[in-house]
Structure 1
């Protein structure tokens, strides 16, 4: 039963193969087994590849099954359509398009399995790429917020500097009126005279202005700092919202790109392995000598071809003979006077009817 199933997978004529030797049946069962297990590998590989795309087991298995059946049908078609002939060059030329197709299929099958085999290494590469993307994303987003924050900090610095300048002026007025009271400057009269009172009044007015300025600027600084806090919060929120996009940077294309950054030699040997698996049925059939099944199949095809050629020749002969008979019949009819008179009479009647109809139409047009 298993042998019958693998013969079915090989695309060979099961009824014709049953008339061949056991060795011939085993050969085609082996070819069918290769086709079957290649399809199984295609199913596994495509399911994993599609899982990285859909992130859903059921969808990946469903589409992976469709892909496996497609590969199975293609391989079965490729093997079954290679006919053994007496010329190896003709057979190889016949198999060339199928070998190219087998190479393409091998690439498609091997790539997802390479990603699974080197999954840890790919995850490490993706982690490094994600870290780089995170830093680059923060720097890029910071370009939108840093200038605003810097301008606000400059405004804070200007307000603080304004207070400092006013404080310096107030301290200077304090020193002036103290020196006046001590008699070390100004009028140099010891005691609190009119000049001292005037200078003390200027200092007190400047001190009141300083207190007002400190209060006003403190309120302005608090407002600006709240703006900076809001910008910082907004920046943090934007970074947080964009981070899931970076964290999700592990799709099929990202993994293929990460795989390309790994050493090429292991991937190349895996590709060669699947190429050997995929092309083995074709190569086996090309290298195998012409067997009993091939001889019988060629005989059946030649019988059918001969029968078709005979039918075509018969149809051509029938058409040719029928044409010659008709030609002879019409030539004999040329000499029949009765037939000539009858056709002449009918032609005259037709001409009279046409003339009467034309006259009637013209008469109606004139009325």
Structure 2
């Protein structure tokens, strides 16, 4: 095909050829590959466009007030992805003379690079798609972290043990207060109990019998006294008259004895009760002292618990404010990456795979496309260039060889001339030295003669 018979191509194709990094001068001669290289350029353009969009989104995540800076970052990121994709595609050169072309040595390193690029390109898109889920998960994590922080602080300040101690002291003080209010009824002293048992035994066993004897003696005496008084009513009775009646005297003696026995037993009971009261009062005093100590210990422990709780609240509130302020890109990324939601994870990885396909597609198309006119044309140009370079190198080597030969000949001739001159000079010097020596030798010989 002559130059003036080149197949027509559109400006859009030409632009995509440039994007694809194709050799335009060679591609113009290969009309069968026009669309192929245009498609490769289109895929590189789409990949760069996506990269720029993702870069813009990521920039807006970090910096919300600097629009120019965000746009600049997006353009730089897009240009970086464009350069990498274009370099990956252009670095693949097919040799038409090789029938067994292996894809893996070219595909594997480019696939690994595509995974890395797709991963960074998918992150900003994920943050847009899952914005609400990320926000919800971050709030939940913040609440859990806050509660965990409170629990850790409670363990560190030993709140549980102090609280149990407060509860124990409160129960003990309540028990002591109840014992003090009920008085001697709850006195646990063994001696007091023995005295109370003695008093109860006397009241139950001895005192009723003595009281009964006293009542009987009083009754007998009073009954006989009434009879004796009626008998003596006709005459005036004197105290001496009472003594004259032996029965009345005997009843009076029995009455007094019963009253004395009963009174002595009451006195014994009173003495035992006095001892018991003394022991009970001593116990009550000791109980009040013990309660005062318990109250003091309870107040100290309660004050410690309140102070520790205030410190925990202050630290936990500060920690809560800190974790709530952590809304940056790294926190959002970690939250999304570790989110325990199967639906979110599946969709996130589908987005990654879609970007991976877009990223690797230009390289894959270049590798899977069979050898065409463009590959043969490039092979021909490279061979021609190689042959021309070899011819030029050969000519240059011949020229250099001639120059080197000429230089060598000239140096040899020059060296010969120099050697000849040096020989003549040395010969002349030797003759002069011999003449001079001869003169000196003659003079010396004459002196000796």
Query: TM-score of the superposition, structure 2-length normalised?
Result: 0.59
List aligned pairs for 1:194-233, cutoff 5 A. Answer: 217-233=294-310
Q: Is the 8 A contact 2:172 2:294 kept in 1?
A: no
Whole-angstrom distance in 2 between the partners of 1:184 and 1:60: 103
Q: Which has the higher contact order (CA 8 A, sep 6+)?
A: 2
Gaps of 5+ in 2: 1-10, 208-263, 431-449
Residue 284 in structure 1 maps to residue 365 in structure 2: yes
2:404 alignment counterpart = 323
Residue 82 in structure 1 maps to residue 92 in structure 2: yes
Higher Rg = 2
Aligned counterpart for 2:312 among listed residues 231, 235, 242: 235
Structure 1 position 48, deviation (Å): 4.3
Structure 1 position 65, deviation (Å): 3.8
Structure 1 position 122, deviation (Å): 5.2
Whole-angstrom distance in 1 between the partners of 2:341 and 2:77: 24
Residue 149 in structure 1 maps to residue 163 in structure 2: yes
Q: Secondary structure at the match of 1:251?
A: helix
Structure 1 position 277, deviation (Å): 1.4
Q: Is the 8 A contact 2:92 2:106 kept in 1?
A: yes
Whole-angstrom distance in 1 between the partners of 2:82 and 2:73: 14
Structure 1 position 285, deviation (Å): 2.5
Q: Is the 8 A contact 2:150 2:316 kept in 1?
A: yes
Q: Is the 8 A contact 1:114 1:267 kept in 2?
A: yes
2:387 alignment counterpart = 306
Paired residue total: 342
Q: Is the 8 A contact 1:110 1:271 kept in 2?
A: yes
Whole-angstrom distance in 1 between the partners of 2:424 and 2:182: 140
Structural RMSD (CA): 4.5
Whole-angstrom distance in 2 between the partners of 1:101 and 1:224: 64
Can you list the C-alpha shifts for 1:43-68, whole angstroms capped at 9, x where unaligned? 3334545666x475747665444322
Structure 1 position 75, deviation (Å): 0.8
154 and 259 in structure 1: CA distance in 2 versus 1, 3 angstrom threshold: closer
Residue 44 in structure 1 maps to residue 58 in structure 2: no
2:228 alignment counterpart = none
1:104 alignment counterpart = 116
Structure 1 position 230, deviation (Å): 1.9
Residue 30 in structure 1 maps to residue 39 in structure 2: yes
Can you list the C-alpha shifts for 1:132-151, whole angstroms capped at 9, x where unaligned? 54444343332223234334
2:420 alignment counterpart = 338
57 and 101 in structure 1: CA distance in 2 versus 1, 3 angstrom threshold: farther
1:70 alignment counterpart = 80
Q: Is the 8 A contact 2:55 2:77 kept in 1?
A: yes
Residue 95 in structure 1 maps to residue 95 in structure 2: no
Structure 1 position 89, deviation (Å): 4.2
Can you list the C-alpha shifts for 1:157-207, whole angstroms capped at 9, x where unaligned? 455555555566644579989x98xx9499752899677667666666766
Q: Is the 8 A contact 2:179 2:186 kept in 1?
A: no
